Amino acid sequence: MAAATRRWSLLSAGITLVALIPAILLLLCSRSLAGNTLTQGGPGLNSSTVLVSPNGLFSLGFRRIPAGESNGSSYLGIGYNNDTKFIFWIANPDSPIPSGSSGELALDGNGTLKLTHSGGRGAVVLYSSNSRRERRLSAVLEDTGCFSLLDADGNPLWQSFDSPADFWLQGMKLGAVNGGGNRKLTSWLKNSVPAPGAFTLEWDPTAGKEELVMKRLSPSSMDLLNSSIKA
């Protein structure tokens, strides 16, 4: 009788463990999906993981365009966490990841934030450190929807808000970037092609002017046809 009781206890324990396996796997997956930070030299972001902002509103991950098409190209983008069809910002608009290839975003030990994929084409470098002494860097998806590379003191070295796509989120700015560059909104080439299109919205860089300028690239003459909105 005692032996039978022990066998039943072991069997019950086995059934309980088997029942818990899905919950354990779900917990592990939720941990990998709930973080908002990549650390220097740590694991990268791949097609099976995403970064989620602390408020749960935004996510950064690999998304197919057109959305839902298994044969569509993949892009690393930021959008609403509960709507993968809408993308605010794309890291690789000119370098789509072809169907069948897997991408990875990593912050390597040298402080380089780059996007690579198994298709073998060159990496898309978002930030490359000029100093070998930069350590303890982190790449963080913030509550604003901005993806930022921060130094050990929390100062931004690079951020997605400095290279916006076609969408203006609260907290974004247009105009010159410290260290060079110009923040501007750029339309997509087509609804299914996020490469730069024919329209931009930007501040006029002419000294003394405060104008928001919309530029259109004429397909026939390749001239810029400008219209301005006074600030």
Report the CATH number that the domain containing residue 70 is assigned in CATH: 2.90.10.10
Q: Which amino acid is at 121?
A: R
Residue 198: CA atoms inside 13 Å, Cβ hemisphere, count? 11
111 Cβ contact list (under 8 Å, min separation 6): 40, 127, 128, 129, 131, 134, 135, 137
User: With 0-12 CB in 10 A as exposed, 13-18 as middle and 19+ as buried, what is 198?
Assistant: middle
Tokens of 61: 């991950």
Of residues 132 and 92, the one with the higher pLDDT is 92
Higher pLDDT, 113 or 83: 113
Residue 65's pLDDT is what? 84
pLDDT in tens, 13-65: 444 434 444 443 444 443 344 499 999 999 999 988 999 999 999 999 999 88
| Closest listed residue to residue 35, CA positions, set 14, 13, 18, 60 | 60
Domain end marker among 107, 137, 160:
160
152 and 206 inside one domain: no
State mean pLDDT over 96-117.
90
37 and 129 share a domain? yes
State whether 114 and 216 are in the same domain.
no
- Cα separations in angstroms, 135 against 36, 110, 112, 190: 19, 8, 11, 40
Point out the domain boundary residue: 135, 160, 185.
Answer: 160
Output the pLDDT for position 44: 94
In a shared domain, residues 60 and 120: yes
Q: How many domains does the chain have?
A: 2
Highest mean pLDDT among 146-155, 158-167, 218-227: 146-155
The mean per-residue pLDDT over the stretch 169-194 comes to 84
Domain region containing 114: 33-160
Same domain for 84 and 55, yes or no, is: yes
What average pLDDT is seen over the chain?
Answer: 78
Query: Average of pLDDT values for 157-180?
Result: 85
Structure confidence by residue, pLDDT tens digits, 108-124: 998 999 999 887 677 89
